[in-house]
Structure 1
Amino acid sequence: MAGPEVTVVIPTVGRPSLAAALAAIGPGPEVIVVDDRRDARTPLPVPDGVRVLATGGRGPAAARNAGWRAATTPWVVFLDDDVVPAPGWAGALARDLGGLPGHVAGSQGRIRVPLPPGRPPTDEERNTAGLATARWATADMAYRRRALEAVGGFDERFPRAYREDSDLALRVRRAGFTLVRGERVTVHPVRDDGFWASLRRQRGNADDALMRRLHGPGWRAASGAPPGRLSRHVLTTLCGLFAAALTAMGAHRRRAGRAAARIAGLAWLALTAEFAWARIAPGPRTPGEILRMAVTSVLIPPAACAYRLGAEVALRTGGAR
């Protein structure tokens, strides 16, 4: 592989997809796998020559930090353990990085998400497909080691694989560096993470609170993140709580209270139905997908509000370094 020396860092929790990612990298770069399982007593099945570090389940930000700090090459490329670099990826990486001027600190790979043919994608598949247009996603992102040193690497207060890459990119750019998009291609297969996957994703609202604290109210525009639905989730949750509170207090027994409870309840129903339909309409509309969207659309607004409120309280009482 012609071009600058590179180390590939892959954090993993032991998913079977790791094997395909390692096999697709090809000869050339050094590879470090960071085992972030809480219980790492069983060795990971990795090829000879791949270095393995263990971080004990401290999250992907801490795992990536351990990986790049163990590397000695001028460039570090972060890959996820569920992607598959396209054929010729190592050579394309060398061409992407070779000759970049010193002010360019990062090069993002092009993420391709193959969607099932013959039908519209599900909500989960559309969420994965968003990686194709995401900016600076560490599914395939190369950084100069000196840029990582300059900003201190990933912020380990981001405990999930969510927003930690955007935070790093914003800090690198604020330090005076430039980020570019390369030509190499990495494939991110879609997968079904189960009935409750969209509900579990609401934990990311806590990371959004940290992003706002660190980068101000314009962080979404600065990082290329799409607009969120938190304001609608807050309104939906308040309507539901108001209707439930009026009913619990017996206010529905009086005409005024009954009217207020009815209005609040209908508003909650309308907002919930709008949210569910916004998720159902572009999908395959199978019975299973409709059921999943209907159930989770009821639960997502209060879950999103709870995670965001908890994070805001924690930031105000504990502060942000």
Structure 2
Amino acid sequence: MSVSIVVPTLGRSTLRALLDALGSLPPEVELLVVEDEGRHGPAAARNRGWRSASGDWVVFLDDDVVPAADWYRRLLHDLDVADDVGAVQGRIRVPRPHGRRPTDWERATIGLEDGAWLTADIAYRRKALDEVGGFDERFPRAFREDAELAYRVRRAGWRLVRGGRTVTHPVRPESRWVSLRTQRGNADDALLRRLYGPRWRRLLQIPPGRRGRHALITAAAAGALAAAALPGRRRWLSAVALLGWAAGTAEFAAARIAPGPRDPAEVATMAVTSILIPPLAVGHWLAGAWRWRAA
């Protein structure tokens, strides 16, 4: 059994911590660091990596994880599996903040611990990658491209299992407005909906989201604006729609504020972004649906 390790990177400073943690690997282990020079996304970088690799197993690591000291030893144990196993995922641990509840962004990172078939640390059998053609490069972000590959591998008849090796995934420093930027992933969801139909979340083992409620909130806001232009007594419709928008937005904000640290900065950020996220999410979804209408 031969092993290749592929690390896609944008040249972030976290790469050094990963390489230091890997330490001195056995000489037969191939390590490929693939820089995403053209910013084509991690899917394209991983494809370049595994297609250049020579190992029977290709281990994908993100450049912001830190493998445990016994990671390689446990990796070899994880890869001692039946011939029908196409991939073995490692375990992800996210450090918690000390003395306070995690922020919205920190909770999003902590959610990786329960994610299925994440490329933060997953080993794929080379035969499985060859069979399905690797990652779909239409996914330009580190979002859903790993779940989509895993589904195609499972659909091809391979089993995917979890192993015992561990990596630490520190919370990356981000702007307080990061939740607005991440709404671009809704366009990728639209592609998945086009490819796999209305059951795409269940097929790809992705938890349900809030986009349906975001659509209702956005429709209420649009309805309030439209009804405000109506003549005479019909303007009461604007007040009703505005009340629906306010109730939906308040529920969304409360759901994000309640589990957090509840300090003034976090509360203010959640209040503002909870107003902006629903229309952004819907807008990116519609843009993606239009772009991928013929996919």
TM-score (norm 2): 0.97
Task: Name the residue aligned to 1:266.
Answer: 243
- Superimposed CA distance per residue, residues 264-292 of structure 1 (whole angstroms, 9 cap, x where no aligned partner): 11111110010001000000001110011
Listed one character per residue, the Cα deviations across residues 216-250 of structure 1 (whole Å, up to 9, x for unaligned) are: 22221232211111110000001101112233x2x
Q: What residue is the counterpart of 2:112 in the other structure?
A: 131
Offset from partner CA, 1:157-210 (integer Å, 9 cap, x none): 001000000000000000010000000001000123112110111111111111
Give the total of aligned pairs. Answer: 292
* Unmatched 5+ stretches in structure 1: 38-55
Distance 1:30 1:197 in 2: 35
1:239 & 1:216 partners in 2: Cα distance? 27
Q: After the TM superposition, which of the residue ranges 212-221 and 78-87 deviates more from structure 2? A: 212-221
Quote the Cα distance in structure 2 between the aligned partners of 1:139 and 1:294: 31
Aligned-pair distance for 1:313?
A: 1.3
Distance 2:270 2:188 in 1: 24
CA–CA separation in structure 2 for the residues paired with 1:87 and 1:226: 32
Q: Does 1:256 align with 2:234?
A: yes
Cross-structure match for 1:46: none
- How far is the alpha carbon of 1:58 from its aligned partner? 1.0
**Paired residues of 1:124 and 1:192 also in contact (CA < 8 A):** no
CA distance in 2, matches of 1:219, 1:5: 34
Residue of structure 2 aligned with 1:292, choices 258, 264, 269: 269
Residue 277 of structure 1: aligned partner: 254
User: How far does residue 215 in structure 1 lie from its aligned partner after superposition?
Assistant: 2.2
The whole-number CA distance in structure 1 between the counterparts of 2:36 and 2:75 is 26
**1:36-81 per-position Cα deviation (integer Å, ceiling 9, x unaligned):** 13xxxxxxxxxxxxxxxxxx21111000000000001100000111
Paired with 1:239 and 1:192, the residues of 2 have a C-alpha distance of: 34
TM-score, structure 1 length as denominator? 0.89
Alignment partner of 1:179: what SS?
Answer: strand
Separation in 1 of the partners of 2:2 and 2:22?
15
Q: Distance in 2 between matches of 1:57 and 1:186?
A: 25
Does the CA contact (< 8 Å) of 2:227 and 2:234 recur in 1? no
CA distance in 1, matches of 2:162, 2:22: 19
What corresponds to 1:302 in structure 2? 279
In structure 1, C-alpha distance between the alignment counterparts of 2:269 and 2:118, rounded to whole Å? 28
Amino acid at match of 1:216: G
Instruction: Return the alpha-carbon distance in structure 1 between the equivalents of residues 262 and 287 of structure 2.
Output: 34
Does 2:68 match 1:68? no
1:88 is displaced (CA, Å) by: 1.0
SS in 2 for 1:262: helix
Task: Find out whether 1:159 has 2:140 as its counterpart.
Answer: yes
Residue identity opposite 2:92 in structure 1:
I
> In the alignment, which of 174, 181, 186 is matched to residue 193 of structure 1?
174
Cα RMSD (Å) of the superposition? 1.1
Partner residue in 2 for 1:242: 223
Say which is worse superposed, 115-124 or 288-297, in terms of deviation.
115-124
Deviation at 1:255, TM superposition (A): 2.2
